[in-house]
Amino acid sequence: MAIEFKYNKSSLHEMRGHLKIRENALPTLKSKEAALRIEVKKAKLAAEDFDKQLNEKLHDIRMMTRLWSEFDSGLVKIKKGNYSTRTIAGVKIPVLEDIEFDIADISLYYNPNWFLDGLQILKDLTYLTLQKEVNMKAMEILNYARKKTTQKVNLYEKVQIPEYNAAISKIKRYLEDEENLSKSAQKILKRRNEQKLSA
């Protein structure tokens, strides 16, 4: 969309104002884009790290597969996940602080001793899974914000700033031409008046 302007001084002043705003905003937008790019990588690495820990934990308990058939999965439930938000370059992302579990009373007299370990394993698996998901969500949010910021940087840098510069040049040339024509007209008029007076 081309910018609209008029060939006068007030339009020239307005175009310079718009140009200055964009030129001043551009370094900030570029810094924001760079910061978001770094944070997207951090969130991705964190998600991959939690995924790796989760897979290692699942690999460690693979040998206990037959025992898990005895385990009552209803013994442990998520009561509440405590989340907070963190702001990075003006973008809010979720952070999992901790998880509160609702653990049923179990009798070690009627259940195997490993049930206590089983509860802890389930809590760890749940924590790692949720941390991975929260970091994936944070990565999506940050990546979306980064893309939007990149679009704005490109809009300013490749479209609007050149358009405003071109508009300013056109207005200045027009005003200069108009001024030159006016001066030329005044000189011609002055010469004619001088010729009339001398004749």
Q: Is the pLDDT reported for residue 24 higher than 80?
A: yes
Residue 176 resides in a domain? yes
Residue 2 resides in a domain? no
Residue 1 resides in a domain? no
CATH number at residue 24: 1.10.287.3240
Q: What is d(CA 77, CA 81) in angstroms, rounded to the nearest whole number?
A: 11
Q: What is d(CA 57, CA 49) in angstroms, rounded to the nearest whole number?
A: 12
Q: Is the pLDDT reported for residue 73 higher than 80?
A: no
Q: What is d(CA 122, CA 107) in angstroms, rounded to the nearest whole number?
A: 18
Residue 4 resides in a domain? no
Owning domain of residue 73: 9-198
Of the chain, the percentage scoring pLDDT greater than 70 comes to 95
**Using CA atoms in the order 72, 76, 78, 80, what is the torsion angle rounded to 10 degrees?**
160
pLDDT digits (tens, 9 = 90+) for 141-168: 999 999 999 999 999 999 999 999 999 9
pLDDT digits (tens, 9 = 90+) for 106-145: 766 677 777 777 788 888 999 999 999 999 999 999 999 9
Residue 3 resides in a domain? no
Number of domains in the chain: 1
> Is the full-model pTM beyond 0.85?
no
Residue 29 resides in a domain? yes
pLDDT of residue 141: 96
